Structure 1
Amino acid sequence: MSRREDILQKAFAIPQMPMPVQKVLAYIGNPEADLRQLSRIIEYDPGLTVNVLRMANSSFFGGGGKVTTVREALMRLGLNRVYQLVIASGVAPMTRYEIKGYGLRPGELLEHSVAVATASETLAKELGRVAPPHTFTAGLLVNIGKTVMGSFLEVDAGPILSLAHERHISFEQAEEEILGINHAELGAILLERWSIPVPIVNVVRYRLRPDDCPEPDLALDLVHVGDVIAKMTGIGMGIDGMQYTPSEAVFTRLDISPEQMEAVMEAILEQIAEVREILIESTL
């Protein structure tokens, strides 16, 4: 068995999202989804109820007057925001562990994921663009492959980093040389198995190499640059650090100025504390 096959076999043994999360996601995927029925499903799970209310009352996601019921929260947030929170509630618990292979303390990878998600949406606003609905969710999930490799499979990134330095190649290329797969591809494969929608899977798969995507994708471009901005802030940096190559084509397509990059960096440093607090609640 090759190293790639061994990694995939072990990764497929990892449990899927908790059943309450799966139920909500399945219901949201129903074109006839009804807010009243959805609120009842959420109310059966105390953790989801608390997080939905916290999100609806936060300045980043909701704002305005306080809401006290799940139904009111759903009306304020809409199905897309609820979908984001539910996915986060299912995936975030995986990020509470120390990611030993990548030199990340417990919770650091979640911080980076939150930074990517908030940077992606904030960048769209800064550029006067409308971010596709799945942008924030995809940003939250970009590190799921690294979580699996570093926590559950205990892959040691040290030799990968050494090879990247010796050969002057990107970190994900070195991952492929040593492991037969990189963490972005592994994450995409797992999300496919968990029935996460294709647009989100594609962003996770091509986030490090957007130029390989068959066609331009605004959500992918925003998340790619959001990831770069998050790394520039130093939030949730592992030993792989900046060992990746940003796409010139993406920066050209989005036509980003240095001033806009700086504005997004400043904004996420202010926003991340509130968003992180909400999502960390889902890991408890």
Structure 2
Amino acid sequence: MFLNKLEFSQNFRSILQQAGQIPPLPETARSLLRLRNNPDANLDQLTELIEQDPGLSIFIMKYARMSVFGYGNRIHSVHHAISLVIGFDTALNLSMSIVSSGCLKMPNHGVLSRGRIWNQTLECAILCRELCQVSSNNQMINRDLMYLGGLFHNFGYFLFAHLYPREFAYLNDLISRYPKQDIRSIQMQVFGITHDTIGMYLIKSWNLPEEIATTVAEQHFPDYSGKHAGYVKLIAVANRLLRNHSNTDGCPYLETSVLLESLGINETEAIITTEKVRNCRSEITLLAEELAA
């Protein structure tokens, strides 16, 4: 028998607030985080760390071969993938998210399968990074932190599945049965807690940057006006654009055009940038399937 909503929510929050209940970052992820926080870190150190994991090495090279970058099969090493194509920060952030997810068990079936979550995650993170490039207010948002926020914004689903596999399976089934109902609303109605709140606790437990914790916690509320509001607005915009302007966040009264204007992003530029990411969907899907394997 499932606990009732109030009991489940209270139990879940209690676990999230207890030291030692959330799985710690894997050692490789901790090494990557230390490298990220080291102002003297260099490309050779990052390459060496990534190459310790053959699967991660292959993934980084495949990512760099995506058509959006234009290098294709000319990328034959991790060093080239980072130095010529994706850059130090993007490679480090992508590697850290992949390695971190490995400690969280999650099924690979249903609407909330591991593959589908990674698919949406990669699309959103890539679009967030690209939108930063065309923003006239890019001083308010660090492009690489925004990309990291995009990569981690769905991790609440991973932790939910890891800690409560039976309840997560039920959520997965409910979403399959009611595809037109907002996913977050289903979580709140049935469990009294949502993936964004769960993800926020995870990010804080792992001592990731404050900007990431705020992005994850407030991602469905682009009217948020506190510290790091730009990150929250941008991830909401990215998710709306990827859903053909379908507004599934908590602010239906806020037009996407208004959010874009506040971010200094021209609407036409946003549409062009989104199409650029959409054109890579088949490649992103293959990458997501690899991460779910």
Normalising to structure 1: TM-score of the pair? 0.75
**In the alignment, residue 13 of structure 2 is paired with which amino acid?**
L
Match of 1:217 among 208, 229, 242: 229
Match of 2:61 among 46, 49, 53: 53
What is the RMSD of the two structures over their aligned residues, measured on CA atoms? Answer: 3.7
1:183 aligns with 2:195: yes
Distance 2:277 2:245 in 1: 9
Distance 2:69 2:14 in 1: 38
**Contact 2:211 2:228 (C-alpha < 8 Å) held by counterparts:** no
How far is the alpha carbon of 1:122 from its aligned partner? 3.6
**1:1-284 equivalent positions in 2, closer than 5 A:** 2-10=7-15, 13-60=21-68, 63=71, 66-76=74-84, 77-93=86-102, 94=104, 97-98=107-108, 103-125=111-133, 130=138, 132-150=143-161, 152-153=163-164, 154-155=167-168, 156-157=170-171, 158=174, 172=184, 175-176=187-188, 179-215=191-227, 217-232=229-244, 242=248, 244-246=250-252, 248=254, 251-255=257-261, 259=268, 262-284=271-293
Using a 3 Å threshold, how does the CA distance of structure 1 residues 129 and 271 change in structure 2: closer, same or farther? farther
Aligned residue for 1:225, secondary structure, equals: helix
Using a 3 Å threshold, how does the CA distance of structure 1 residues 178 and 282 change in structure 2: closer, same or farther? closer
**Contact 1:207 1:220 (C-alpha < 8 Å) held by counterparts:** yes
Higher alpha-carbon deviation: 200-209 or 19-28: 19-28
Distance 1:185 1:257 in 2: 31
Aligned residue for 2:237, secondary structure, equals: helix
Using a 3 Å threshold, how does the CA distance of structure 1 residues 66 and 191 change in structure 2: closer, same or farther? same
Using a 3 Å threshold, how does the CA distance of structure 1 residues 247 and 14 change in structure 2: closer, same or farther? farther
Distance 2:59 2:99 in 1: 12
Distance 2:272 2:236 in 1: 17
Distance 1:253 1:80 in 2: 27
Aligned residue for 1:107, secondary structure, equals: helix
Query: Structure 1: which 5+ runs fail to align?
Result: 235-240
Higher relative contact order (CA 8 A, sep 6+): 1
The match for 2:3 is none
What are the Cα deviations for residues 171-225 of structure 1, in whole angstroms up to 9, with x where unaligned?
Answer: 6467456544322121011011112221122111111113234145333222111
**In the alignment, residue 245 of structure 1 is paired with which amino acid?**
C
**Contact 1:209 1:247 (C-alpha < 8 Å) held by counterparts:** no
How far is the alpha carbon of 1:251 from its aligned partner? 4.0
**Contact 1:184 1:207 (C-alpha < 8 Å) held by counterparts:** yes
Number of residue equivalences: 270
Distance 2:25 2:228 in 1: 30
Distance 1:279 1:25 in 2: 23
Query: Structure 2: which 5+ runs fail to align?
Result: 1-5
